[in-house]
């Protein structure tokens, strides 16, 4: 019954990303948790087990716990919002108008962001507001910058991730967003016709 439930639930984090980071897929983690008796545990105990026995960092332990609880039909602590906030940004050599589709379009956003977020709202061309499965909130904002010395347009892409539950979540969350923004810049700046840019 548990395997059926987990197979039917869409995962907020891809199996590839989860295995790359933690060494196991969702199915493998769920089976390990079932064997440990986690279906009868509360949220905090599951997280502690993943962090201890599973050697999983806090951000990923929290994410796997929420996925597991959802798959097993357990109540999740959505109301336990944290108060910690972090921000990270990256300058991209494009206009905000050119970057916006990669932020706003669900399909394009998935090409650089491998965790599913629920869209809460948007200011077209400027900000996208998201919520995560753990109750945390994300705002992706675009700010015009002066042209660079090479004459190319520049935009600062800023991510603010709020309602994190602990200061210990900040380093890994910040590292995650830095990688994501680097991937966004790479995709957005790739020539549309697939040709390579000539070296300067």
pLDDT, tens only, 42-85? 887 888 898 887 777 777 787 888 888 878 876 555 445 567 88
58-71 vs 43-52: helix crossing angle, rounded to 10: 130
Write down the pLDDT at residue 139. 93
Non-local (6+) Cβ contacts of 59 within 8 A are: 169, 172, 173, 176
Q: What is the arithmetic mean of pLDDT over 111-136?
A: 89
Write down the pLDDT at residue 154. 93
Q: What percent of the chain has pLDDT over 70?
A: 85
In this prediction, residue 19 has a pLDDT band, given cuts at 50, 70 and 90, of confident
Q: What is the arithmetic mean of pLDDT over 117-133?
A: 90
Q: What is the arithmetic mean of pLDDT over 26-51?
A: 87
Task: Report DSSP state, residue 24.
Answer: S
Q: What is the mean pLDDT of the chain?
A: 82
What is the side-by-side order of every strand in the sheet holding 118-123? 84-92, 154-164, 137-145, 127-131, 118-123
Write down the pLDDT at residue 75. 58
Q: Quick one: which H or E segment has residue 70?
A: helix 58-71
Write down the pLDDT at residue 8. 42
Q: Dump pLDDT digits (tens) for 178-200.
A: 999 999 999 998 875 443 344 44
* Inter-residue contact 12 to 63 (CB < 8 Å): yes
Q: Kindly report the pTM of this predicted structure.
A: 0.60
User: Is residue 127 pLDDT above 70, yes or no?
Assistant: yes
* Inter-residue contact 167 to 84 (CB < 8 Å): yes
Which domains are assigned to the chain?
Answer: 2-71 (no CATH), 84-188 (3.30.530.20)
């Amino acid at each position: 019954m548990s395997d059926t439930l987990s197979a039917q639930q869409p995962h907020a984090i891809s199996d590839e990303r989860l295995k790359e980071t933690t060494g196991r897929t969702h199915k493998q983690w769920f089976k390990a948790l079932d064997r440990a008796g986690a279906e009868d545990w509360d949220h905090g105990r599951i997280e502690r087990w993943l962090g201890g026995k599973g050697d999983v960092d806090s951000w990923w332990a929290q994410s796997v716990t929420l996925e597991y609880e959802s798959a097993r039909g357990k109540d999740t602590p959505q109301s336990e919002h944290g108060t910690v906030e972090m921000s990270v940004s990256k300058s991209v050599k494009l206009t905000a108008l050119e970057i916006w589709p990669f932020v706003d379009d669900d399909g394009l956003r998935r090409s650089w962001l491998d965790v599913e977020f629920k869209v809460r709202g948007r200011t077209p061309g400027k900000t996208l507001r998201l919520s995560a499965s753990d109750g945390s909130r994300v705002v992706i904002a675009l700010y015009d910058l002066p042209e660079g010395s090479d004459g190319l347009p520049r935009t600062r892409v800023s991510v603010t991730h709020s309602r994190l539950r602990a200061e210990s979540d900040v380093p890994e969350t910040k590292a995650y967003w830095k990688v994501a923004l680097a991937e966004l810049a790479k995709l957005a700046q790739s020539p549309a016709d697939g040709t390579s840019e000539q070296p300067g």
